[in-house]
Amino acid sequence: TGSSAAHIAALDPLYGSATGAQSNNIAVNMKHTATVLRITIKNTTGAEIAGVKSLKISVAEGIKLHGTGTIDFATNEVEMGNDGSNSITVNIQDSGVIAADGELTIWAAAAPFTMAANSEMLFTLTTTDDKGLEYKKEFAAATDFKAGMIMSTTVTPEPRPEQVVIRWGYLDGYTAPVGMPSCKSDADKQVNKEGVTSGIYP
């Protein structure tokens, strides 16, 4: 809900092991399995955002942001399996209105991963009135998102570019475009097979 990080614990199973310990004196250092992303959304759209429904974080194919992992207790290393996905979505409840120049912090848990140099992370924000905003974060150098670390960033999502479609054609009842500029002179006019007069435009 809003900027709460309460959901992170359930997505960060802890693990640990102990060897050669007394049965009545066992101490186990627990380790995190998740890396935590603290994302501050800054509203620079110039208008109020009614609310945030979800934030999707996507990276390149081949990177696993979530899935099933296995723990090697000999080395205490976690290795991700072949399932999972290169994107995660945080669903938001009751984010409230984000005023122009206002901010909202969103927390996400992910499997440890590495962003390669010259790679991109895409943030896709969906508002409560179903508008889409996007932001691409570029990584000039390789960056490790390690288990147990909180990685913070500020992003300024913008509305997606609108596609403008221009249709060229004829008006109903006409076989040639209408409203064409007048010709320079009668000498420049020509008549085509359909009897439509055309000419050289000034």
Which is it for strands 52-58 and 87-91: parallel, antiparallel or unpaired? antiparallel
Q: Express each pLDDT in 134-176 by its tens digit.
A: 999 999 999 999 999 999 999 999 987 653 344 454 444 444 4
Spell out the alpha helix ranges (H) of 115-156: none
HSE-up of residue 50 (Cα within 13 Å, Cβ side): 8
Q: Express each pLDDT in 33-43 by its tens digit.
A: 999 999 999 99
Per DSSP, the three-state class of 64 is coil
**Dist CA 133 CA 128 (whole Å):** 12
**Dist CA 63 CA 84 (whole Å):** 9
Lookup: tokens for 65: 């942001």
**Dist CA 93 CA 51 (whole Å):** 9
- Where the chain has pLDDT below 50, the residues are 163-167, 169-189, 191-192, 196-202
Output the pTM of the full model: 0.74
